[in-house]
Structure 1
Amino acid sequence: MAVLATALSASSSPGPAPDRAHEHILKVTGGSLSEDALKALAAGMDPAARALAARHDPAAEPQEWGRVEGWPNYDVSVRPDLGIGALDGDRARQINALIPIAAGELKPARPFVFQGSAAERKKALRCLTQAVYYESALESDKGQAAVAQVVLNRVRDPNFPASVCGVVFQGAERTTGCQFSFTCDGAMAGGVVPWAWDRAKVVAERALAGQVVAEVGTATHYHADYVLPWWSPTVRKVGQIGTHIFYRWAGSPGEPAAFVQRYAGREPFIDEARFARPRLPDAENTVVLASEDGHGRVAAVLGGRRKPTADDIARINEKLRRFEAETPSPAAAPEAAGGEPASPAA
């Protein structure tokens, strides 16, 4: 209400007569009270008037969302500070829910159909299955498919490796740069639950055969809704499936036409024994700023996981119990990298 009142009294252009104010608002907003309508109404205000309105807004929340002015060309050697300090999961969820989905930013992704030998496909399938399993084992089928699509979108993005395993394990050889946190936090050391692995494998197979999740389009980033990464204002929010919020690059780098990288045709060797050892990634120092012209972009750490609390563990175990009650456990365990079946997790 403060913004609306100030818009009418302090507009940079002559305002309407007081008795015609409602007509002016109706004309500008089209009768809508949406975020876009409010932005349209405030667009004619002087910047100082907008700042004054925000200062006197009795219900104002800290502006912890949206794209920060100047960030498209921010100094990538400096990690920006949103000024909100540490957040618990509930507060992060509240803020993430307030961040609007960017209008018009969801663009369709082309199907990814794997082109390579049977041996390379087997490697790619294992890496993609690992990403789906460790990042979204208890998500819905669509939620798992969305994670797989982010991986394959990155394979076609010139800013990332041109292979599936290369994308999944990018940065895993360092202690500060794992793109997917499971590749350096020790998650792979505990084995897998066979039925959940097989479910993730089916999702990965479909993704490699060209399945597309329209709800995430060209997304190349995501994080869990119980964290608020400092890099999220630098990219465009396109949707949420389950606990994961998905983003695409801002501007032309996030358009379908930008995904022109050709698959390398071969997959790198992955030393799973090495990457199963925890190496404590420092996600806070990994830069993910994107420029509008496509230059100087650096990738983000994905996953956005944090150390679980006792309550988190109890909720996860209860959800796992319900999954297992509904899903019969297959007799066969998945093959490990060396061809031996992996031990199921307790």
Structure 2
Amino acid sequence: MANRAYNFNAGPAALPLEVLERAQKQFVEFENSGMSLMEMSHRGAVYEKVHFEAVALLRELMGIPHNYKVLFIQGGASTQFAMVPMNLIKSGKAPAYIATGSWATKAIQEAKMFGDITIAASTEADQYRRVPAINELQYSEDTSYLHLTSNETIEGTQWREYPDTGSVPLIGDLSSDILCRPIDVSQFAVIYAGAQKNLGPSGVTIVIIREDLIGQPDLPVPTMLRYSTHAKADSLYNTPPTFAVYMMNETLKWLKEQGGAAAMEQRNREKARLLYEVIDGSSGFYRGFAEPGSRSIMNVTFRLGSEELDKKFVKESEAEGFVGLKGHRSVGGMRASIYNAVPVESVRALVNFMKDFQSRNG
């Protein structure tokens, strides 16, 4: 389709064109049922097939061990900021958090509502331009859990490897880099992620939780905010976001067709390399925000020499069909979000625009 934008939105983000076209064909009538999937009961066999296929595909693509439950929950990662401490804080054992940027900070603020927490490490003094080294982490072996944000979309930083926390449960917010590369799920006690960056549209949140952590919380927790509620009912306790789950299932099929997480990593690293090479080779015209050792392969953040140039870059890029390049209002500058579904061709087009813009304004 010639009129497709170069979509670099941070989320909701680009979806694979093939997935959109499949959904378009099935939108009015799903599998000869006489109705759209959105019109069906979530208790019916047709929707349940889609639902459990999505669970099975996620298990396959991520290599999720058998002793983990896969849950589909609503409310985004922001609701998980509360659900994690509500369900997992143990009496007398403060959880520990790693402060790496805007989203980690939001998780920390929410957790403080439920008791004392400790900060295992913080890179605030470095303007969150990096993630801490593993040997910087300080937390007690008696802590309820250790929480990290795998990829900070706003600052453009990403963990390259995760800490081995031993008996301390590791909780990971992987909202913006889930399935961008292979990971060892067994390193984590809980992984959560909003789907709207790498796995589908907004509306459904994935929670992957080790079964031994699903129990009676020490805190009083409303029914809908207990992991046990969703685990016992296979995420069908109440009406799920059926169309979002369907779209996620189709996106997971696409990911498998592309070669899975390993193929995605190769493709994502190539996209990131193209952009970082332009930034690093611009003699200071473009300045990367994240430190090189912490650079994200999902969100490439950079700035130009002045606010005036930033505005001109945004205006001219939009005129050329580029969408979503303006950085988050909290840090400014530019941000190119290059999630799984962003084609390499879109990144090459952006690279050419950046080179041309520098030649005219450098």
Query: What TM-score does the superposition give when structure 2 sets the normalisation length?
Result: 0.26
**More strand, by proportion:** 2
Query: What TM-score does the superposition give when structure 1 sets the normalisation length?
Result: 0.27
Rg (Cα) greater in structure: 1
